[in-house]
Amino acid sequence: MQYQENQPQKQNPEIQKNPSGSPEYRHLSPFFQQPTLIWQPRIDVFEDHQHILIIVELPGAKVNEINVESVGNILIIKGQTNHPESQMSLRYRERNTGNFYREIPLPPGTTPEKAEARYQNGLLEVKIPKNRPQ
């Protein structure tokens, strides 16, 4: 898992809902020029006087397939998940797989460059400290 601070970029993929109601981003793959679905993981955001805690559901993701970075005061979480291989034919699927992408606006007074992240049991926790009043 990597944490990076990047310069702002203008990137607004088109958001649509899949049949289960989850938002998905659609963009054109540079190799095939066909739409590729990018799903948006579910999150919970908690706050106290010292930190912002963001918990992201990423079942099936491997830690080396998760990227956490910030652009200004936007936290970006992106990566990929895959279903386990099976000898059986797929009959029905509700779980998301493939590329995921989520932008989370951070409130003023946070220091995303000092964020700490950990991934365990399908949950990514990102803890972001707030600036201390001087």
Which pLDDT does position 50 carry in this prediction?
95
Provide CATH code, domain 2-129: 2.60.40.790
What is the side-by-side order of every strand in the sheet holding 116-120?
43-47, 51-57, 123-129, 116-120
pLDDT per position as a tens digit, 23-64: 555 554 455 455 567 899 999 999 999 999 999 999 989 999
114-127 pLDDT, tens digit each: 999 999 999 999 99
CB–CB of 46/53 below 8 Å? yes
Q: Which of 50, 54, 48 is nearest to 70 (CA)?
A: 54
Q: Alpha-carbon distance 124 to 121, whole Å?
A: 8
Domain ranges of the chain: 2-129
| β-strand pairing of 51-57 with 123-129 | antiparallel
User: What pLDDT shows up at residue 132?
Assistant: 73
Amino acid sitting at position 47:
E
Asked whether the predicted pLDDT for residue 17 surpasses 60, the reply is no
Is the pLDDT reported for residue 10 higher than 50?
A: no
pLDDT for position 52: 97
Is residue 108 within 8 Å of residue 55, measured between CB atoms? no
Q: Across the chain, what does the average pLDDT equal? A: 80
Type of residue at 62: K
Q: Give the residue, 110 or 97, on which the prediction is more confident.
A: 110
